[in-house]
Structure 1
Amino acid sequence: MSKQKVSAGISDREAEVLALVGQHRSNAEIAAQLYISVRTVETHVSSLLRKVGVPDRRGLADRAAELTRTEEPNEPVTELPSPLTSFIGREREREALRTAVAEQRQVTALGPGGVGKTRLALAVAADLASEFADGAWFVDLVPVTDPAMIGSAVARSLGLGEQPGRSLDDSVLTALADRHTLLVLDNCEHLRDGVAPFLERLLAHCRRVTVLATSRARLMVPFEQVYTVPPLSLRDDDAEAADAITLFLDRAGALGWPVDPGQLDQVAEICVRLDGLALAIELAAARLPTLGLDGLTASLADPLRLLVGGRRADERHQSVRAMLDWSQALLTSEDQLLLQRISTFVAPFTFAEAVAVAGYPPLEPMAVADGLSRLAEQSLLTTVPAAGGLRYRALQAIRQYQTEQLTESGDLTEVCARHLDWCATTAAALVRRSSATPSAAARSAAAAWRSEFDAAVDDMRAALAWAGDQSDHRSAAHHLALALAQLSFTRNLIGESQRRYEQAAALADDPAAAATALRRAAEAAGCRMRGEDMYRLYRAAADTARTAGDDTAAARDLATAAITVYRMSDAFAEPPAPGTGAELLAEARTLAGEDLAAQAAIALAECGVLSDTTAPDPGETSGDTAASGSSAANSAASRAISLAERAVELARKTGEPLAESAALDALAAAQWWGGDAFATAQTTRRRVELLAAVPVTPGSALELVSALAEAADTSIGVGDLTGARRWGEQLRDLPLLAERGDFATSRLLVADALAGNATDVLTASRRFLDAWEISGRQHAPALGAAAAAVALVHGLRGNPSARAEWLSIVDELGAAEQRPAYNAVFDAVVLLHQGEPQRALAALATDPDRLDDRVIWIWRHWYVALRAEAAALAAHPEARDYLAAARITVAGNPIASAIVDRAQALLDNDPARLPTIAAAFESARSPYQQARTLSLGSDSTATAGRAALTGLGLTAGAADPK
C-alpha cells in the first residue's frame, strides 16, 4: 500500500483501514489484507466513524479519499508471489501473452513442464495488475489432488471461508461477482476435470473476471484462448545473447561462477541440448560449481544419461524427462531413493515428516537430513521458510517423474502406505488436540493448530485419494476420512466435512460404521442449511442400518428424517411431498420395538407430524369463526405441548443431550403456540444450559446455533434484553458462524436497538451488511428483524435517508412478504419518539389476537404495550380498554409492563410517576426507554431525559404532545 498522509487524530493503522473502506472492501477482506482479525477491523471502523463524524460506512467511504492522500497513486491489491530470482528475457512472449490477456477473458499458457509457464504468467500478471481495479490473485494448484477442491484452493488464496447454506465454490463466485480481477490459476493439467467446470461457472457468473491459466494441456472450456509458451530463444540476432544463454549466465553468476565470454559457445551448446527449457537450464547452471562447463557438456553428451526413459514419454514431455533423467543420474543411489520417497508429499514438508515417510532401510534418519540438504543444493528441492521451521518442496515435474520411478521399481505402494500412515498419525494427533476441553492454553494454541492442519491437509487429501482405490488399505482410508471429516468441521470447512463423512461411509466395510458416518454427514449438511442433503442422508443411514440388521437404529434414522422435514423446513429448496413425514413415521414405528432411543425419536417426530395435521388455519381466527378458531387453537396447542413433554421425558431417559435438546426445541415451540412466553423462554434457557458442556460435533453445533438463536429471541419476547444480548454474543462468537456475520450479529442488533445502544448497532450493522453482500444478498426473511432494528436506530437518530435504505434491505431480504409484527413495533417506537402517536396507533391498528402466531411471534408483548401507549397519547376513546387488556397480557415482562405503566401515567396526566417508571426501565437494562420516560416529564426531569437521549447518540425526541 502506498504511504498515506492522514488527517490529525487518525493513526497509521486506522489510515490503512480507512483507505480500504474507501475501496469498498468488506471487513473480512480488510482483515485478510492487513493480517488482523475482523473484530479488530470493526473496532477501527467504529473509531473512525467517531473521529470523522459520519453516521455510517458509506459516509466514511465518501470521505476516505479526502482524509487519506497517498504520496503515490493508489495501486490495486495484488496477491502475487514474489519471485526469488530475476525474470530473464522473453520480451516478445511477454508482450504477446499480455495482449491476449487484455483482449480475452480466459487465456491458457500452454507448454511442457519446465518451459517457464509459471514465471511468464506471473510477469504478465504483474504487468497487468494495475489495469484491474481489484488487482491480481495467484492460485497454486500443485498441492491440490482432488478436482472437487478447486474452489477450496481459490477460496484460500482469496481469504474466503465457507458460509452455511453455500459451498466454497459458490462463495468464490459471489465474492468475485462484481470484481474486476485477474485470477492466475497455476498448474491446471492434473485437475482438468475440476478446473473446466469451475471456470465455466466462474466466467459465466463473474463477468469482470479474467483468468490466466497455466497447463500442459488445453482446458477445453468456452472462451479459452491458448497461448503456447515456447522454449527460451536459442538464437537472437538483435541481442548480445539469446534468452536461454542469458538465463544460464544469470543463474551461474548468482552462484558466484561467472562464465568467461570465450566460453559462450559452450554455454550455447548446453542450452541447445536442453531445448531451451527454463527449468533444465536452471538445473544445469546449478551444477556448474561441481561439474564445470566441460563436465556439463560431457554429461549431456552421454545418451544413457540424457534419454533414459525418454522414449516412453509423449513429445511434450520428452525434453523435461531427458533433463530429469540426466539430473537423477548425477545423484547418489541414496539421494535418488530419498527423492523418490519424498515425492509422495504434495505440500511443503519438514525434516521430521520426511524421516517419517522416507527414513526406513536402507535410509537412516541422518541420511535423510543430509540428503535433503544435498537435494536442495542441487535445486531438486526448494526450501520454504515457515513459522514452524524450514520446509522442503519438490517441483511438480520432479514429483511426477519420481513417482514413475517408484512405479517402475515396484516401491510405490510401500511408500504411499507409509505416507498414508504418517497422514493418519498426524490426523489422529490433530483430532485429539482439536477435541481437548477448552482452556486458556488450548485457546492460545488454536492458531498453531490451524496452521498445522493447513500445512498437512493437502497431503491427507492426496493419501485418501490413493488409499480409497487400494483394497488392502480401505480400512485405513475409512479412518482417515473420518478424521479428516472431523478436522474439516473444526476448521470450519463444513462442506468438505460432509463430503468426507460420506466418503468414510462409502469406504466402511461394516454397515453399522457406514450408517454412523452417514448420520454425521447429515448433521454437517444441517449446519450448511442443506435440508435436502440432511433428509437424504438420514434416509440412507436408515437403509444402511437395516442392511446391518439394526432395525431400531433404522427406526431412529427414519424418525429423524421425518422431523427434519419440519425442523429444517426453511432449509429445503423443494421440501418432500406432503405426507412424506407421516409415511416415514409409520415405517419407523414398525421397526422401533421397545428401544428407548427409537421411541424417543418417534415421539419427537410426532411433535412435527401430528401437530402439523391438527394445526388450525390462521384464517379461521376472524369473523364468526373467531371463537371456534380460538378454541381449536387452544386444543391443538395443548396437544402439541403434551406430545412435546412426552418427547422430552423419553429423550431425557436416553441420556443423550442432543436428543433432549431437540425435544426441548419442540416443547418451546408448543409453549409459544399455547401463549406461554415465559415458559418458552425458560425452556430455551434449559436447552442452552444442557448443550454448554457437550463436545463440539456437527450435531451439537447445529443444536447450539438453534438454541442460542431461540434463547435470544424469546428473551426479547419477555423483556429480558440482558439475556438476549448474552445469548446473542455467544451466537456471534460461534466458530460455525465465522463466515456468517449477518446471522451471527442478527440477534445482537435487535437487542441493542431495543435497548438504545446506537453505537453498538452501527458498528455491528456494518459486519451484518458486509456478510450479507458477500453471501450474494441472499433472500433471507429470518434476518429481516435485524435489518429493521438498524432502521429503527437510524430513525431514532433522525436520519431518514439511512432508515429508508435499511428498510429497503428488509424488503430485499424477503421479510416484507410475511408482514411480521416487528415492522409495526419498530415503526411505532420511531413515531412515538417523534411525537406522532396517531400514526403510531395506525401502525398498530390490527388487533393482536387476529395476527397469525408466525407473524406476531416474540413481539406480542411489545405490540400490545406500545399500542396501549399510542392510544393513551392519541387520546383514543378506548385507550383505557387497551391499557387494561395490555396489562394482563404483559404481566411479568419488566419492559412491556413499564411501557404500560408509563402510558397509564400519561393518560392520567400524572408526570410525577415517571421517575419511578424510569427507574424500572433502568433495572430492566433499557436505557432508551429510561431516557425517553424522563424526557416526557416536566422541567429538570425532561431536561435530564433529553440529555440522556443525546448521550445515547439519539435525537432528543418530542415532548408529551399533551
Structure 2
Amino acid sequence: MSEVSEREAEVLAALGARLTNAEIARKLHISVRTVESHVSSLLRKYGAADRKALAALAGQTSPAGDTVTGLPAARSTFVGRSAERAAIAAAFTGSRLVTLLGPGGVGKTRLAIVTASGFTGGGAFVDLVPVRAGSVAQALASALGVIERTQQPLEDALAERLGSGQALLVLDNCEHVLDAVAPLVDRLLALCPGTRVLATSREHLGIPGERIVPIAPLPLSPASSSPASSSAASPSSPSSRAAEAASDAVLLFLDRARDADPGFDADPAVVAEICARLDGVPLAIELAAARSAALGPEGLLAALDDSLRLLSGGRGGDERHRSLAAVLGWSYDLLDEEERALFRRLSVFAGTFDLDAATALTGDRLAAVDGLARLTGKSLVVRSESRWRMLETVRAFAWAALGDDLPAVRAAHLGWAAGAAERLAGWPTGWREEFDLIADDLRTALTHPPTPHPTDSPHPGTQGTPALGNPTLGTAALGTPVQGSPTHPSPFPEEAGRRHRLARALGKLAYARRFLREARERFTQAAELAPTPAEAAKDLRSAASVALATAAAGDAFDLLLSAADQAEGTDRAILLSRAVVVARRHPGFGFESGVPYERLPLLEAEASELTAGATATAHLAGARAWTAGGEAAGHEAAEHAVATAQATGDPVLLSAALDALTMAHARKGELREAYRTAAERLALIDDMDRDDPESGIEIVDAFHSASSYALAAGDLPTALAVARRNLGDDLAGSHLAIALNKLIPPLVLMGEFDEALGHAAAMWERREWAGSRPGRWLAVSVYAVAMAYGLRGEEAQARSWRVRAAGLDRTADLVPFAAFADARVALHTGDFGQAAALVERGFAEFRPGRFERYAQATAAELAVAAGLPDAADRLAQAAPAALGSDWAAACLSRARGRLHGDRDELARSARAWERIGARFEQACTEDLLNLSGGAGV
C-alpha cells in the first residue's frame, strides 16, 4: 500500500466518525472536491470497495469491528442474572434472533447491555424508546452510520452495511413499534447471514425462528441466586457475611443504597422484607434504595407499606405492576411542588434532552438546573454527561401525571422542537450528532394534537396516583390508559406557524442526513401545514427535488405541477418550466403511465406568458432546450439556455442547461464537445449546496455524465478518477452496485483486470441479494467483466458473465460494447473463425452513444489481423472514429502499423496507449514491436 498522507489520515478518521464529505470539508477547511479526491485516493491505496470499508479501517463505525457501538455506559454494579445470561447464550446457538421478554422495570435493558458488552463481532445498540413506527429504519441507520442513497431504499442500505459480517444488533424496547421492527428484522436476517439480533420487549416479535428468554424479577431466595453475583457487600461491612448469603434482590438493594450512602447498613431481615414488598422488581428496588439514606430502612419499609395499601384491591393486573406503581407513587409524593412540576413536564421528551430543552419547559434556566440536580439525585432522572433522560417506566408514570398541564407542555415542546430544528438546519458544528440524538423528539412534536383555544375545556387529568403508561404509544403499558387529546382543538396561529417551520426544517435535516424518503415526506407535510399558498409551493418544490434526486421523476413532475397550482406569476412560470424539463430530461424514471407529452407544449406556453426576470427566463430557456426538435434547433436552444443560466449565477441552473447542451452535442455525434460540457458540469459541483435538495439531481447526474463521456472519448484516466469520486461521494455514490458499475469499465479498458474482477462479484451480488432484478444500467459493466476474463484466457468465467449480460435488457450502449468486446477478445486470442461476422457487427448501424467508435476501430483491426480482403477499406471506413475517441485513435494507429508493417506507427500507437493509461493495450503493442509476426494482440 502507498503511504497515506497526513491530510488523508485526517479524512480517514473523519470517515470513521461518520462525517459526510460536506462535513469533512467544513471540519478540515478544504473544498468538497478536495475531500472527494482524498477519499478516492484512500479507496485506491487501501483497495477498499467503498466508504464503509474505509470507515472500518478507521476502526470506529464498522459493524464488523470488535465491539458493539452505542452501548450506554454502566453507572452501577450489575447484579445477578447468571441463569438468564446462560439462557441467552444457549438461545443464540440455535437462533439468530433472541428476545428478552418481560414487563417494564424488570431489567431487560441492563441485561441486554451486559450481554452485548461481551460480544466481539461488532454491531450497534439501538434504543427504540423515542422512536415512532415510521422511523425505525432511520434509528438503525443512525446507529450504524448508514445513509440512504439515490435509487436505494434505506432498508437495503442497512442490509448492505451489515453484509455477511458477524454483527450483533441490540434493539431495545421494541413493544410499541413491533409492526415496524418485525418485518425489518426479518429482512435483515434473511439478507445478512452473519447478523444476530438481541431484542428486548414486552411482546415477542413473532418472527419465525425467534427464541424467547423470559426475564422475571430478581429472586428473593438466596437458594435461587448466584453465589457470586455481585460485589455489593464490602468485606469490611458488618453485614458482609449476611450479604454473601443474600438473594440477588437484596444484593441489588444494598449496592444501590451504598451508592447513596457509603455507610449504609441495615438488618438483613428488613432489607429482605423491603425487596419482598417490591416483588424483586429491579427498578422499584433501585428507586427505593435511593431514598434509604434519607429515611432509613425502617422508615422506608413503613412508607412502602402505606403506598401498597393505597393501591390494594381494585387496580387489577400483575401484582408486580402494583408494587412498581407504589414505589413510583411514593417517590412522587415525596417531591416538593416544583420538583413534581418539572418531573411531569420532562416526560414529554421521548429521548434524551439537554438543559436548553428543559429550560424551554420551565422558562427559568436556574430552576431547570436546580430541579434536574434534585431529580437526578433521587434516581427519577438519569444523567449522562450534558444530557438527561427518564427511564421508560418512570417517564410513563410522569406522563400520566400531567393531567391538565398536557396541552401546555405539548405546546412548549413544539416550540422547543421548532427552534431546535431551525437552529440545526443552519448547520452548526456537530449538527448531525445532535440531530441523531433529538430527531425522534422533533418527529414526535409534529404529532402533538393542536393546543385548544383558551375558551375550550381541556380534558380532565388523571386523578390520584398516576397510572404506568407508555407515552410513546398513548396507551397503557402497565396500567390505566392515558387520556386522549381535546375533542375540539383550535390551534393558535403562532402554533400553526411552529408546526410548519418544524416540518420544513425536518425536511432539510432529513435530506442533509440522507434520509431521503423522510425528507420528501416532511416537505410534503410542510406544504400541508403552510400558512400561505406561496409557502406551500416552496415546500412542494423541495419535495419534487428530493423525488427527482431519487430517480422518481414521475412523482417530481406531479409535485411540481401541484406546486404551480399554489404559485403565481414568475414562481408559477418557474415551476411549470421545471416540470417540462423533468418530463423531457428524465422520461425513463418513474413515469408509470408514460410521459404526458401532449401536455408539455401547453405548460411551456403558459410559462412563457408568465415569465419575467432573469431566473424565470433561464428556466424557460432550459425547457425550450429540452423540447426543441432537430439537431440544429436543439443545439441553438441549448446554447441559449446556457447563456441565460450563466447570467443568473446559479450553478444548479447552469448545470441543467449544460446537460441539455451535452445531449445536443451527443445527438450530433460530437463526443469531444459533449465531454467538454460534461466536464464543465463536474467543475460546478463544488459551488453547489449539498444540503439543498435542488442540487441533488445535478450532483448525481454530473458524475454520471462526466464519467460516461470521458469513457466515450477514450480519456480513461479521467473516467476512472470520476468513477472513484462518485464511489466515495455521500450523495452520488448510490447503491454500491451502481457505483461499481461506473468503476469497472474504465478499469477493464485500462487493463486493471485484478481490481475490476475484484469488484465484479460485489457488483452482481449487491444488486441480486437486495431483492431487485438487475437493471439495464448494469449491462455494459457485466459484459466488461466477461471481456476481462476473455482477455485473461479464462473462457468458462467469460462465458458465465456473457450469460448474465444476456439476461439483462439490451440497451443502446450494450450492443456496440458487446460487438467491441467480442472482437477484442477474438483479436487477442487469435480466434479468427468468426472474424468476418464480428467485423460486420462492429460496423453495424448504431444509435449515437458511447461505444460505436470502440466497436468500429476494433473491428477494423480484427479485419487486418485476420487478413480479411476488405481490411484496408474497413480501416478507411473507421477513420472518423479517431476524431471522437482517444481509444479508437490508438487502436486504428496500431491497425495501420500492422497492415503496413510500419514500426513507427506501432510506436506511436504504444505511446498513445500509455497516454490514456491502457497498460494492457500498451503491452500488446510493444509485443508487436519486439516480436514481429509474433503472438496476437
TM range (shorter): 0.7 to 0.9
Deviation at 1:245, TM superposition (A): 2.5
Using a 3 Å threshold, how does the CA distance of structure 1 residues 509 and 844 change in structure 2: closer, same or farther? farther
Deviations 1:459-482 (A, max 9, x none): 332333338788332211212222
1:906 aligns with 2:898: yes
Deviation at 1:280, TM superposition (A): 0.9
- Out of 93-102 and 738-747, give the one that drifted further: 93-102
Native 8 Å contact 2:279 2:320 kept in 1 = no
Deviation at 1:112, TM superposition (A): 3.5
- Which residue does 2:868 correspond to in 1? 876
Mapped partners of 1:483, 1:708: distance in 2: 28
Using a 3 Å threshold, how does the CA distance of structure 1 residues 246 and 923 change in structure 2: closer, same or farther? closer
- Which residue does 1:143 correspond to in 2? 130
- Out of 560-569 and 323-332, give the one that drifted further: 560-569
Native 8 Å contact 2:564 2:575 kept in 1 = yes
Deviations 1:571-618 (A, max 9, x none): 32xx3434623225435534652415667656655666675xxxxxxx
- Which residue does 2:520 correspond to in 1? 498
Deviations 1:308-365 (A, max 9, x none): 99969998854333222222333444444443444443333444x356435634xx43
- Which residue does 2:425 correspond to in 1? 431
843, 850, 872: which one pairs with 1:848? 843
Using a 3 Å threshold, how does the CA distance of structure 1 residues 258 and 582 change in structure 2: closer, same or farther? same
453, 464, 468: which one pairs with 2:446? 464
- Which residue does 1:357 correspond to in 2? 360
Native 8 Å contact 1:46 1:763 kept in 2 = no
823, 827, 833: which one pairs with 1:832? 827
- Which residue does 1:61 correspond to in 2? none
Deviation at 1:100, TM superposition (A): 7.2
- Residue correspondence of structure 1 range 852-871 to structure 2 within 5 A: 852-853=847-848, 857-871=849-863
The one-letter amino acid of 1:536's match is D
Deviation at 1:148, TM superposition (A): 0.3
Using a 3 Å threshold, how does the CA distance of structure 1 residues 297 and 42 change in structure 2: closer, same or farther? farther
Using a 3 Å threshold, how does the CA distance of structure 1 residues 80 and 732 change in structure 2: closer, same or farther? closer
- Which residue does 1:66 correspond to in 2? none
Mapped partners of 1:685, 1:47: distance in 2: 25
- Which residue does 1:345 correspond to in 2? 349
Deviations 1:687-736 (A, max 9, x none): 33455423232221211221221122112222223433443344334320
The one-letter amino acid of 2:513's match is R
Mapped partners of 1:666, 1:895: distance in 2: 26
Native 8 Å contact 2:277 2:323 kept in 1 = no
The one-letter amino acid of 1:916's match is R
Deviations 1:806-836 (A, max 9, x none): 5566456656897432233234334434444
Mapped partners of 1:594, 1:80: distance in 2: 54
- Which residue does 1:245 correspond to in 2? 250
Report the TM-score when normalising by structure 1. 0.75
Deviations 1:178-215 (A, max 9, x none): 78877543213333554466567668888997765433
The secondary structure found in structure 2 opposite 1:185 is strand
Deviations 1:520-547 (A, max 9, x none): 11111222223343233223323333xx
Mapped partners of 1:531, 1:165: distance in 2: 12
- Which residue does 1:214 correspond to in 2? 200
- Residue correspondence of structure 1 range 505-544 to structure 2 within 5 A: 505-544=527-566
The secondary structure found in structure 2 opposite 1:231 is coil
> Percent same amino acid among aligned pairs?
34
The secondary structure found in structure 1 opposite 2:711 is helix
- Which residue does 2:294 correspond to in 1? 290
Native 8 Å contact 2:422 2:501 kept in 1 = no
- Residue correspondence of structure 1 range 359-374 to structure 2 within 5 A: 360-361=363-364, 364-365=365-366, 367-374=367-374
Using a 3 Å threshold, how does the CA distance of structure 1 residues 485 and 315 change in structure 2: closer, same or farther? farther
Mapped partners of 1:424, 1:383: distance in 2: 24
Report the TM-score when normalising by structure 2. 0.77
- Which residue does 2:58 correspond to in 1? none
The secondary structure found in structure 2 opposite 1:845 is helix
- Which residue does 1:271 correspond to in 2? 275
Deviation at 1:141, TM superposition (A): 0.1
Native 8 Å contact 1:637 1:674 kept in 2 = yes
Native 8 Å contact 1:88 1:246 kept in 2 = yes
Deviation at 1:913, TM superposition (A): 3.2
1:897 aligns with 2:889: yes
- Which residue does 1:586 correspond to in 2? 602
- Which residue does 2:497 correspond to in 1? 475
Structure 1 vs Structure 2 CA RMSD: 4.7
The one-letter amino acid of 1:670's match is A
The secondary structure found in structure 2 opposite 1:461 is helix
- Which residue does 1:571 correspond to in 2? 589
1:485 aligns with 2:503: no
- Which residue does 2:726 correspond to in 1? 731
Using a 3 Å threshold, how does the CA distance of structure 1 residues 794 and 255 change in structure 2: closer, same or farther? farther
Mapped partners of 1:75, 1:204: distance in 2: 21
- Which residue does 2:105 correspond to in 1? 114
Unaligned runs of 5+ in 2: 4-11, 25-35, 51-63, 226-244, 452-488
Mapped partners of 2:313, 2:784: distance in 1: 71
Deviation at 1:746, TM superposition (A): 3.7
- Out of 472-481 and 309-318, give the one that drifted further: 309-318
Greater relative CO, 1 or 2 (CA 8 Å, sep 6+): 2
- Which residue does 1:62 correspond to in 2? none
The one-letter amino acid of 2:249's match is A
The secondary structure found in structure 2 opposite 1:465 is coil
Mapped partners of 2:139, 2:41: distance in 1: 30
Using a 3 Å threshold, how does the CA distance of structure 1 residues 162 and 417 change in structure 2: closer, same or farther? same
Native 8 Å contact 1:467 1:474 kept in 2 = no
Native 8 Å contact 1:914 1:933 kept in 2 = yes
The one-letter amino acid of 2:141's match is A
Native 8 Å contact 2:157 2:735 kept in 1 = no
The one-letter amino acid of 1:904's match is R
Native 8 Å contact 1:141 1:188 kept in 2 = yes
Deviation at 1:137, TM superposition (A): 5.6
- Residue correspondence of structure 1 range 601-750 to structure 2 within 5 A: 604=622, 636-638=630-632, 640-641=634-635, 644-645=638-639, 648=642, 656-696=650-690, 697-738=692-733, 740-750=735-745
Deviation at 1:266, TM superposition (A): 1.0
The one-letter amino acid of 2:560's match is Y
Native 8 Å contact 1:308 1:322 kept in 2 = no
The secondary structure found in structure 1 opposite 2:522 is helix
The secondary structure found in structure 2 opposite 1:383 is strand
The secondary structure found in structure 2 opposite 1:139 is strand
- Residue correspondence of structure 1 range 371-390 to structure 2 within 5 A: 371-385=371-385, 390=386
- Which residue does 2:392 correspond to in 1? 396
Mapped partners of 1:309, 1:602: distance in 2: 76
Native 8 Å contact 2:351 2:389 kept in 1 = yes
Mapped partners of 1:102, 1:39: distance in 2: 45
Using a 3 Å threshold, how does the CA distance of structure 1 residues 553 and 313 change in structure 2: closer, same or farther? farther
The one-letter amino acid of 2:108's match is K
Deviation at 1:740, TM superposition (A): 3.1
Using a 3 Å threshold, how does the CA distance of structure 1 residues 876 and 222 change in structure 2: closer, same or farther? closer
Deviation at 1:381, TM superposition (A): 2.8
Mapped partners of 1:314, 1:474: distance in 2: 42
- Which residue does 1:949 correspond to in 2? none
1:930 aligns with 2:922: yes
Using a 3 Å threshold, how does the CA distance of structure 1 residues 523 and 649 change in structure 2: closer, same or farther? same
- Which residue does 1:888 correspond to in 2? 880
Equivalent residues, number:
840
Native 8 Å contact 2:151 2:735 kept in 1 = no
The secondary structure found in structure 1 opposite 2:676 is helix
